[in-house]
Amino acid sequence: MAISIQSTSNTPSQALLDSVNGKTDAKTASVNATQDRFMTLLITQMKNQDPLNPMDNAQVTSQMAQLSTVTGIDKLNNTVESLIGSVQSGQSYQAAGMIGHNVLVPGNTISSTGTGGYLGVDLPVGADKLTITIKDSAGSTIRMLELGSQTAGTASLKWDGLTNDGSVAKAGNYKFDVTATAAGQNVVSDSLNYAQVMSVSNSTNGVKLNLNNLASVSTSDVREIF
């Protein structure tokens, strides 16, 4: 007597997949939920397989390997995110120790209340001559500071607040240019602002120092701390 066997496909129907997966967004599903759905789907496939054409062991092994890879990557991403958060938190605590301190950071402005102010210069290589040109808001030169030989590195400088004719410059903000030469040739030089750290904040770009000149800089921008 012939035995009648109902043929079934090893590939689950879309209705079965929808039933197993539900309406959960795969991007937001947790690792455990993903594993549960996979195992439910695999068991359902095995229960409904054709006994004369069972699932290939290699296919099952491949599916398990894929799940393991996806799960491992997800756990690695979570670990990295946690590590980044811990590092950023530690950086915030360290940066908080700079509040109230003065720093030199990239910039070319200087403020004076009648007694001048501080500025800085970063010289990757030494210079035979260094010239600081201070200008008012109209771009007119009010003072030139001629300095001698400078060694490589960061140098903090003081402007006495006087103009070229010896009068006191008006209180306000000024800009300055830096010119450095060695053996008669211009060399690389970076102008630096002198400012006080007022607070520390976290941003998508990392820890930021908020200065009293209303600028926000990264801790990596700090060339010198006072």
The CATH number covering residue 126 comes to 2.60.40.4070
pLDDT tens track for 34-76? 667 767 776 776 677 666 666 666 666 676 677 667 666 766 6
Q: Are residues 124 and 220 in the same domain?
A: yes
Do 24 and 89 belong together in one domain?
A: yes
Q: Are residues 75 and 123 in the same domain?
A: no
pLDDT digit string (tens) for 88-137? 566 677 888 899 999 999 999 999 988 889 999 999 998 999 999 999 99
φ and ψ at residue 85, rounded to 5 degrees: -65, -40
> Beta 141-147 vs 216-218: how paired, if at all?
unpaired
* Average pLDDT over the chain, rounded to an integer: 79
Structure confidence by residue, pLDDT tens digits, 191-224 = 999 999 999 988 777 889 999 999 999 988 999 9
Q: Determine, yes or no, domain membership for 29.
A: yes
- Under 8 Å between Cβ of 147 and 131: yes
pLDDT (mean) for 180-187: 92
What is the number of other CB atoms lying within 10 angstroms of the CB of residue 26?
Answer: 9
Q: Do 77 and 125 share a domain, yes or no?
A: no
| Angle (CA) 10 14 19, round 5° | 105
2 lies in some domain: no
Judge if 82 and 158 occupy the same domain: no
Q: Is 156:103 a contact under the CB 8 Å cutoff? A: no
**Number of domain units in the chain:** 2
Answer with the one of 96, 115, 134 that is the final residue of a domain. Answer: 96
Residues 45 and 75 in one domain: yes
What is the domain range of residue 194?
102-225
Q: Are residues 55 and 133 in the same domain?
A: no
The Cα 59–Cα 178 span in angstroms is: 70
For residues 43 and 31, give the distance between their C-alpha atoms in angstroms, rounded to a whole number: 18
* Residues 157 and 60 grouped into a single domain: no
Q: Residues 113, 179: one domain?
A: yes
Q: Which has more confidence, 24 or 170? A: 170
DSSP the chain: -PPP-----SSPPHHHHHHHHTT--TTT--HHHHHHHHHHHHHHHHHTSBTTBPPPHHHHHHHHHHHHHHHHHHHHHHHHHHHHHHHHHHHHHHHHTTTT-EEEEE--EEEESSS-EEEEEEESS-BSEEEEEEE-TTS-EEEEEEE--B-SEEEEEEE-SB-TTSPBPPSEEEEEEEEEEETTEEE--EEEEEEEEEEEEEETTEEEEEETTS-EEEGGG--EE-
pLDDT of residue 187 exceeding 90, the answer is yes
Q: Is the pLDDT of residue 161 over 90?
A: yes
Residue 74 belongs to some domain of the structure: yes
Domain shared by 109 and 185, yes or no: yes
